[in-house]
Amino acid sequence: MATAAASQVSLSAPVGSDRGVRSSGVKGGNNISFSNKQWMGATLTWERKSTWPRHANKVLCMSVQQASKSKVAVAPHHLENAKEPPLNTYKPKEPYTATIVSVERFVGPKAPGETCHVVIDHGGNVPYWEGQSYGVIPPGENPKKPGAPHNVRLYSIASTRYGDNFDGKTASLCVRRAVYYDPETGKEDPSKNGVCSNFLCNSKPGDKVQLTGPSGKIMLLPEDNPNATHIMIATGTGVAPFRGYLRRLFMEDVPNYKFGGLAWLFLGVANSDSLLYDEEFTNYLKQYPDNFRYDKALSREQKNRNGGKMYVQDKIEEYSDEIFKLLDGGAHIYFCGLKGMMPGIQDTLKKVAEQRGESWDEKLSQLKKKKQWHVEVY
């Protein structure tokens, strides 16, 4: 599996497997189904509890925004001091033993499959930057290498460097449970289910998890220009790194980074029940209408202009003139999700470029050269 440092990540693992894959969640295939903290006043600190109520992360983020128009205090501030991102602090042969804080299903009953928000306590010992990934080594023996541990699975981190507790000691993952159904019998075959995704989704507070990393540079959020434009395109759990970006831009009171630009998120999922972190994003839209835009592509509920299913590339085409003008002005554009999203998006961008009398190949080359193009698919 290519690392996050590559300009584009590709995948050769069999469909439905999470063996050795990068994943903001887990990829799917034809036979795959992806099946209390309290606010403490003006200091914005947390009272730790061993478990959260279901959907707590959604309620929590709503309460943050409703409690005050001011941003959330974060610490320790020395996390801002590093000039380069941390890389591979812990390696597969010597992983870090972290602790599960909470695991919450956070999609509705009509969502196809199950997606969980997993909060992990690393004690401040495995720091990371927004857009990086952790490796997870699930417990048990590698079936292909008897006596050896499982291969590392990579997951995009869905929180800022300060974590969901704003204290620099946790990280969050957005994990879609991979479940295999036999195409002939229609019955679940647990022996083929995603090893790591099911381990994480089944974990309980206090369980231990082996971490490696952090890894990746291609999806780091450029902060040299606080007034830059960031266009984010995600499918499903590919929204994970963008959730981290947006918390940093709009939720947290970061001492040396005040965002005044435009963040524009396109999120493609199956239906309304499948939307991830929707309350957070909707609140940013209400509070920062001049700095945030949020467009959803719901393939099972919306139709594109031709009457077909609405996918992210259809939304991109809808706003193509505006997007191209922003790119010409130096905007960064990010893609994260299933690798199957990219051909349709590339075709749409090529068609729009040709309509504008431009060469898409030349334009793409320039975007990459200027480091405006960020792709991480799995």
What whole-number distance in Å separates Cα of residue 140 and Cα of residue 86? 28
Within 10 Å of residue 217's Cβ, how many Cβ atoms?
16
| 155 catalytically annotated | yes
Catalytic residue, from 116, 174, 196, 336: name it.
336
Q: Is 299 annotated as a binding residue?
A: yes
Q: Is 176 annotated as a binding residue?
A: yes
What whole-number distance in Å separates Cα of residue 128 and Cα of residue 126? 7
- Which residue reads 């893609």 in tokens? 335
Residue 33: closest CA among 172, 240, 190, 143: 190
Q: Would you state the torsion angle of the CA atoms of residues 106, 112, 113, 119, taken in this order, to the nearest 10 degrees?
A: -20
Catalytic residue, from 180, 181, 277, 378: name it.
378
Do the Cβ atoms of 196 and 20 come closer than 8 Å?
A: no
Q: Is 309 annotated as a binding residue?
A: yes
| 174 catalytically annotated | no
| 180 catalytically annotated | no
Catalytic residue, from 114, 252, 317, 376: name it.
376
Catalytic residue, from 90, 128, 134, 155: name it.
155
- How many CA atoms, within 13 angstroms, populate the side-chain half-sphere of residue 40? 11
The two structure tokens encoding residue 279: 């309350």
Do the Cβ atoms of 276 and 174 come closer than 8 Å?
A: yes
Q: Is 258 annotated as a binding residue?
A: no
| 196 catalytically annotated | no
Q: Is 376 annotated as a binding residue?
A: yes
Q: Is 300 annotated as a binding residue?
A: yes
Catalytic residue, from 23, 133, 156, 320: name it.
156
What whole-number distance in Å separates Cα of residue 86 and Cα of residue 124? 12
Size (the chain), residues: 378
| 376 catalytically annotated | yes
Give the residue ranges of the annotated binding site for NADP(+). Answer: 156, 176, 237, 299-300, 309, 337-338, 376
Give the residue ranges of the annotated binding site. Answer: 156, 176, 237, 299-300, 309, 337-338, 376
Residues annotated as catalytic (active site), given as ranges: 155-156, 336, 376, 378
